Chain A
Amino acid sequence: MKGGIHLKPVLLMVGLYIFLKFGMPLFTAPLPASLIMLYLMLMFSGIMIFMTLSGTSMESFLGPIFRFISGDGQDGTMKMARMAVLALFPLLVGWQTYTSTATSTVPPAENRTVHPAPPGEFAAMSNPVPNTPENVMQGKGLYAAYCSPCHGLFDGKGPASRGFTPPPANFKDPTTIAMLQESYLFWRIKKGGVGLSVEGMPWKSAMPRWEFELKDEQIWKIIMGEYDGAGQKPRTWE
């Protein structure tokens, strides 16, 4: 009962870690360590805030920890435990420092920029092709021929998609093309992965440079078919 005040926070931290690390992959994709660390930091901050709201709660929560570290009136097992903690903690810091600075063959974690800014000449473009049912249908046909092998039925799961990292974009996801103007898609389709700007390198995109195969009018039609097929609307200002 004496250690009860520490049990709940420890259980919360451990429980959250187990859920994020092992529980979430059971029903969705696993989380990277950076995100798990972020959520654990938030939980730790919350615990510290709540436990230090009053003098009483702070004393009962931090008091034993401070007394343990200072070694006041300790003997026997507690003294040994304190010595072990004081010896292990610098070793832990040293190990962490070593692993983070030692030469490694593993590439560093990337903070990839998903949506780089388009060049100026593309930023101000507007779709010159009228949005008619015929044009949308033609766009869908072109999409089926040129885009669906990778992007599938607008969900990024075409037959060739498994060969790419990162995978082809899922247009049905409301956080992809629905956030962008048509001109942005025109730039990405026309210039492809090699046409990406230097901003936020390194780029990883297997998108072909379609300007060699498709006319501008066809690209605009594909864009219309893509939005229609994915059930999304492009970003506009009107």
Chain B
Amino acid sequence: MRNHEVSRGRVRGWLDAWGLSVVGLALLTGFLAFPGAGWAEDAASASAAVSYRDIPQLGGSRNIIWVVAQLHLLLAGFVLGVPIFAWLCEIVGWKTGEKRYDKLAKEFTKLLTSSYATTALFGGILLFLLISFYPKLMTYLTDIFFPSFIAYCGLFLLETATLYLYWYGWDTMQEGRAKVFHLFLGFLLNFFAFFIMVIPNSWATFQASPVVIAEGSSVARAWAATWNPTWWPVNIHRLIANVVLGGYICGAYAGVRYLSAKSAEEREHYDWMGYVGNFIGVFGLLPLPFAGYWLMREIYQYNQQMGITLMGGFLSWLFILQAMLIGVLFLGSNYYFWLGITHRIPGAEAKYKKPIMAMLIILLLCLGVWMTPHSLVASLEEARKLGGTHHPLLGVFGVMSAKMTVANLMILVTFMSFIMYWRAGKEETAAWAKLARAVMSGVLGVAAIVVIVLGVWGYFVPAIVRINYFSVAQVLIVIFVMLTITPLTALLLRSARTTTEMVWGRMPPRAGYALVLNAVMVILLMTLMGYARSSSRVHWHIYGVMRDSSEYAYSPALGYAAAFMSLNTFLFCMLVAFIFWVATMGDKAKAGSGAMPAMAGGSPELDRSKAH
């Protein structure tokens, strides 16, 4: 009782301290932001004498910025994605009473403190380099966005304070209203993080899709520049991508820990963690193509030239690479689900072999369509036989109508993989189970047919009809399937009888490698799209407004860019491995000398195990 009171007093102390911190930070932000409106004018008059600076000995300013900016962005995606992931897990743990979710959430929040500092460090380096290498551009951007720079600093202060409270208050705020308050802190953490993401997005999207800025106060001008056509599409796309990144990195971490696990308990825990990471990654992956489609549509609508450069011009080959990477990601995620069915649910292999094969065939056919380019890579001799580089039959797969159709079908298949996994090892006992299954099959079958019909029909209607109605209808149909089948399955399983208990810790080593592969694919995808977004501006710092007149005002070749994407992916993986290693150092010390290193390699014991 006494302890309880002490705990309550401590929580009250936390609340008071937190309240004061927030008020203090709010005042500080206001104090800093208030004179911002006047200072912007001064900044505008200070013209930079130097347009560019360079360090050619270190590979040139553009390459340096490329690496630092990409690493900062990837780290930012990680530190913004992980709080979403952690908070969702904490909510699940709180609602279901399952402590392992709370433990998982805490384990990942622990990573935030070190990764947050690393992200800020790279942000600082990026800022100094940008000011040094591109003084003219930065003067121009500062003139427009100065008020939002200040707001950004304020948000950073609030985010930092909230993160400290969230992390250090975890154990103290475990019960009752304190836990609710802790969940509220998690919400605040994500709330501030969201705005920390959207403010720099406005600077980057303004460079790609600038708008005419009317005369007015500095706040009004910054606001006008912020509301540029691609701001919200990028905000939504990045938000979802961050969830995907957070989920898959969690999965990769679990995969590595699983491969190095020595005890059965460890294997069970990290097997389960891998499942949760993969699930959240897939959960984000499903709506991501829709967000990407919206972004591309806005780009096309903003500027046909930029849209064609991306989708039909020299950058269009990036989208074939993107299709390959997304294809591996879809295959990897489904493979992990299927391995879960065949290994965690004893005896399920024979039952699910045929449905898995059907889903695999659909996925491969869809991927074949998605990866087929509009204009084929052909030698001179092949092109002569072909009559150009456009195939008369397979060329129809090279356009958006086909790509959208197969993307939607792949999303449906992946969703059904999860549903199959969810239902595996259970027998539905509800009287209406048969009817529900028929309804689900009907909905799925009709949806797949309608998606295909709309896809084929899309070739015979004006582009605007396809873009505004058919593609949107395809997306809505897939969402409808998810919103129908998910609650129906949940209702069915509420009264279901478990026929075979799911056994954690029996996954083969290749499942761990699949999780690592998925994370690497997501990182590669982000580096690829980073290059696409930046290159779409071609020889402009600010599209159509400020021309790049440096010696680097050319678009690097795709092979050269691919080398940088790989380098950035490798460096980011090393950074994340270092962060994990630092964050788990304390655990290893606690566990004693027998503990396995966090980022060790494979597990020979498991390789030899007869379990697989």
Contacts and interface: CB of A to CB of B under 8 A. Distances in A.
Contacts of A112: 375, 389
A45 B385 CA distance: 29
B423 to A, nearest CB: 18
B304 A123 contact: yes
Nearest to B544: A120
**In the complex, which range does the number of interface residues on chain B fall in?**
35 or more
Contact of A50 (B309, B356, B395, B544): B356
Interface string B333-370: 00100110011000001000100110011001001100
Interface residues of A, number: 59
Interface stretch (B8-16, B211-219, B313-321): B313-321
A46 interface: yes
Nearest to A183: B304
A173 B464 CA distance: 17
Contact of A31 (B356, B374, B391): B391
A111 B342 CA distance: 42
A119 B395 CA distance: 26
Interface string A104-118: 001111111111111
A1 interface: no
Contacts of A123: 303-305
Contacts of B361: 46
B378 A109 contact: yes
A184 interface: yes
Given A50-B356, A119-B305, A167-B387, A109 B377 contact: yes
Interface in A26-65: 28-35, 38-39, 42-43, 45-46, 49-50, 52-56, 58
Interface in A85-111: 106-111
A167 B464 contact: no
Interface in B488-518: 508, 510
Interface stretch (A145-153, A218-226, A230-238): A230-238
Given A30-B385, A49-B335, A114-B312, A238 B304 contact: no
Contacts of B388: 165-167
Contact of B301 (A43, A173, A237): A237
B381 interface: yes
A199 to B, nearest CB: 5
A110 B383 contact: yes
Contacts of B367: 42
A49 B331 contact: yes
A34 B377 contact: yes
B386 A29 contact: yes
Contact of A118 (B308, B381, B396): B308
A174 B396 contact: yes
Contacts of B230: none
A207 interface: no
A44 to B, nearest CB: 10
A158 to B, nearest CB: 14
A62 B223 CA distance: 61
A110 B389 contact: yes
B387 to A, nearest CB: 5
A110 B396 CA distance: 20
Interface in A160-186: 165-167, 173-175, 178-179, 181, 183-184
Residue among B313, B331, B388 with max Cβ neighbours from chain A (10 Å): B388
B594 interface: no
B612 A58 contact: yes
B368 A114 contact: no
A110 B394 CA distance: 18
Contact of B357 (A45, A50, A120, A234): A50
A106 B379 contact: yes
Interface in B268-287: none
Nearest to B468: A237
Interface in B425-479: 459-464
A32 B387 CA distance: 11
Nearest to B384: A165
Interface string B405-423: 0000000000000000000
Contact of B368 (A24, A39, A56, A166): A39
A86 to B, nearest CB: 23
Contacts of B389: 110, 112, 114, 166
B508 A53 contact: no
B382 interface: yes
A184 B313 CA distance: 13
A114 B396 contact: no
B364 A46 contact: yes
A179 B463 CA distance: 6
Contacts of A120: 305, 544
B393 interface: yes
Contact of A109 (B303, B331, B356, B379): B379
A200 interface: yes
A7 interface: no
B356 A53 contact: yes
B129 to A, nearest CB: 28
A54 B386 contact: no
B338 A53 contact: yes
A117 B316 CA distance: 11
Nearest to B311: A115
Contacts of A173: 395
A124 interface: yes
Interface string A183-204: 1100000000000000110000
A50 B392 contact: no
Contacts of B305: 117-120, 123
B526 interface: no
By Cβ-Cβ distance, the 3 closest A-B pairs, closest first, are A115-B312, A166-B388, A55-B612
Given A35-B394, A52-B510, A109-B382, 13 more contacts: A24-B393, A28-B391, A30-B382, A32-B376, A32-B386, A34-B376, A53-B335, A53-B353, A54-B612, A110-B379, A120-B305, A200-B313, A238-B464
Interface of B: 301, 303-306, 308-309, 312-314, 316-317, 331, 335, 338-339, 342-343, 349, 353, 356-357, 360-361, 364, 367-368, 371-396, 398-399, 459-464, 508, 510, 538, 544, 555, 610-612
6 contacts: A29-B392, A50-B360, A109-B378, A174-B396, A199-B314, A237-B301
